[in-house]
Homo-oligomer: A and B are copies of this chain.
Amino acid sequence: MTETTKNSKKAGLPPGALVHIGKQKAQKIKISVIDYDKDTYTEKICETIEECFEYRDTEKITWINIDGLHQTEIIQQLGEHYELHPLLLEDVLNTGHRPKIEEFDNYIFLTLKMLGLNKKADSIVNEQISFILGKTWVISFQEQQGDVFEVLRERIRESKGNIRFKGSDYLLYRLIDTVVDNYFYVTEFISESTEKLEGKVLLSNDRKNLLEIQHLKNELRNLRKAVAPLRDAVTNLHKDVTMIQEETKRYLRDVYEHIIHVNDSIDSQRDILAGIMDLYQTGVSNKMNQVMQLLTIISTIFIPLTFIAGIYGMNFENIPELHYKNAYFIVWGVMVFISILMLFYFKRKRWL
């Protein structure tokens, strides 16, 4: 989850200049339309963008989903037909944008992040998703094919629940809710990683653990950047916006609480990581202490003994002790006595 966006690409260009800021994709853009009301249901893949223009003013609820942002001319055509503001389209294409909501005269624009794990499941990937809510339609823009909405599509198709009985604002709510529910996967992944990491740090002071702490910290920071602004955006949505019906607002309040929950989890994890960092650092200090203690024990015992041996290795002509019969054994005795004394001392100091 690194920030590869190059916003500086756009310096000097006029506002609304449609430049796709993000990784280039080779695939064709895929446009799919779902059109429904209480009684009818149509689903199709459009070959050209013009095919989805007809849904603009019908009574039925229409969900136009666009996968891929690199063919800016298609986005532009869509924008012209649906009378979207150029700055809005610019924001759709700038995949480094922070989550936000903006209210226009006839529609609401909302952009947020879809979060997931990469295939090796060791880091978090994000994808920008933008929604435009009109009176009877929702347009969604995704960076890539493949999304989290399959369950929702199924429910619309089979008219499970009451989604077919409600307006486009309820559809938008369900879309946002699905995205936010997926955030829990990510926070649970982080939380499990943190727990595993704590175990590792307790076992060893390997520097790899430190790098992993930093890595998780960065993931959390990026998560926070994706989730925190969303909170304010959804607050606006369930409070002020006139296009959302009263009944739907209570549901949005529920989404809001989920976002708060995710946010709280992120903050907790940061705190826990700080604790693990402390563990790591005191681990390093403790190790050093052990090393030093061993060195000190060995040195303190043997250095005086070696000194004694040195004394009787001197070549003076007149060293009386050298001629005593049991001197050698007495010296050994003294040495053993000193050692035992030292060991007692270390025992009492709890170094052993």
Show the binding face of A for B, using Cβ within 8 Å: 3, 6-8, 10-15, 85, 87, 90, 96-98, 100, 102, 148, 151-152, 155, 160-161, 163, 174, 177-178, 181-182, 184-185, 188, 191, 202, 204-205, 207, 210-211, 214, 217-218, 221, 225, 250-251, 253-254, 257-258, 260-261, 264-265, 268, 271-272, 275, 277-289, 291-296, 298-300, 302-307, 309-319, 321-323, 325-328, 331, 350-351
**In contact, A181 and B322 (Cβ under 8 angstroms):** no
Chain B residues near A97 (CB-CB < 8 A): 257, 261
Give A305's nearest chain B residue, CB to CB: B307
Number of copies of chain A assembled together: 5
Question: CA–CA, A12 to B299, complex, Å?
Answer: 64
A293–B15 alpha-carbon span in the complex (Å): 60
Q: What 6 A-B pairs come out closest when comparing CB atoms?
A: A309-B310, A12-B151, A11-B181, A8-B184, A312-B314, A7-B184
Provide the residues of chain B in CB contact with A282, threshold 8 Å: 207, 210, 280-281, 284
Across the interface, name the chain B residue whose C-beta is closest to A174: B14
What residue in chain B is nearest A149 (Cβ atoms)? B12
The answer to whether A314 touches B316 (Cβ under 8 A) is: no
> Contact check: which of B100, B251, B283, B300 meets A298 at CB < 8 Å?
B300
Select one of B8, B160, B277 contacting A278, CB under 8 A: B277
Which residue from B218, B283, B306, B312 sits with its C-beta under 8 Å from A303? B306
Q: Are B303 and A303 in contact (CB under 8 A)?
A: yes
Also in contact, A295 and B300, with CB within 8 A (given A327-B316, A331-B314)? yes
Interface of A: prevailing SS: helix
Would you mind naming 10 contact pairs between A and B with Cβ atoms under 8 Å apart? A7-B258, A218-B272, A225-B268, A284-B289, A291-B351, A295-B295, A295-B300, A306-B307, A310-B310, A312-B314
Which residues of the partner chain B approach A188 to less than 8 Å between Cβ atoms?
6-8
Q: How far is the CA of A265 from the CA of B307 in the complex (A)?
A: 60
Tell me, in angstroms, the Cα distance from A275 to B261 when the chains sit together: 26
CA distance A152 to B17 in the complex (A): 14
| Other A-B pairs beyond A15-B254, A218-B272, A316-B328, 7, CB < 8 Å | A7-B261, A202-B211, A281-B282, A288-B288, A291-B351, A302-B304, A318-B326
